[in-house]
Amino acid sequence: MDLLREMILSGELAPGDRLRQDELAARFDVSSTPICEAIQQMVAEGVLSHSPYHGVQIAEITLEDIREIYFIRSAVKELATRTAVPNLRITDVKHLHEYKAAIRQSVEAADFQTLRKLNYEFHWLIYYTAGMQHLSQIIRGLWLKSPWDRLHGMPNRPEEAIIEHERLLKAVYARDAQLSRSWMHEHIEHSAHTLSEYLTERPL
């Protein structure tokens, strides 16, 4: 169910949070059947976990999991970026600049929930333009398993990400696919390194 996935992507639901099917059904105004089906699918994907003692919850994630996820994300997102750049229209680039400005405003306001949403939309405008459905599904699955609530709340990281976005946008505007790929690599690697250091001191 897309609405449940959006709750995870936005950071509204974090690793370890428990889910109740009746509450979700009431919130989304649907029967329990689609909720049950969505939960079963997301358990199979590893996004949710289920046990007799803890019920259904957002899957816990370890530091090693994070390092592996970011390693894979770097490879697939670089591919998506390199493929997308030649396909981006002038209107797409304009929207990316609008997202960048809105992201800066949310950082200045310390509005991390809006920041997560805008950052997701900024990146997905690029990945979607690659026109590779299966690659997009892989990226979405990895995104669901990332602890965004921790990343955007780290000291200085949002400000650093803005600078990285600006570098990426300059390369995109120049239609330099290889440089765009390189800046995407730097952006993801920096996020991974910073998050790894942060969580070493503050375990999940």
Give me the pLDDT at residue 138, please.
Answer: 92
Per-residue pLDDT for 202 more than 80?
no
Longest CA span, the chain: 54
pLDDT in tens, 8-59: 877 778 888 999 999 999 999 999 899 999 999 999 988 999 988 889 999 8
Per-residue pLDDT for 62 more than 90?
no
| Residue 54 sits in the same domain as residue 67 | no
Which of the residue ranges 128-132, 161-165, 175-179, 196-200 would you say has the lowest mean pLDDT?
A: 196-200
Quote the strand ranges of 44-91, DSSP E.
48-51, 55-58
| Residue 147 sits in the same domain as residue 133 | yes
CATH code of 6's domain: 1.10.10.10
SS (H, E, C) 25-57: HHHHCCCHHHHHHHHHHHHHHCCEEEECCCEEE
pTM: 0.81
Per-residue pLDDT for 153 more than 60?
no
Query: 18: which 2 tokens?
Result: 């428990």
Query: 83: which 2 tokens?
Result: 């493929």
Range of the domain at 48: 2-58
| Residue 17 sits in the same domain as residue 76 | no
Q: Report the mean per-residue pLDDT for the chain.
A: 88
| Residue 134 sits in the same domain as residue 197 | yes
Q: From edge to edge, which strands make up the β-sheet containing 48-51? A: 18-19, 55-58, 48-51
pLDDT in tens, 163-181: 999 999 999 999 999 999 9
CATH code of 153's domain: 1.20.120.530
**Contacts of 149 by beta carbon, 8 Å cutoff, 6+ apart:** 11, 14, 112, 116
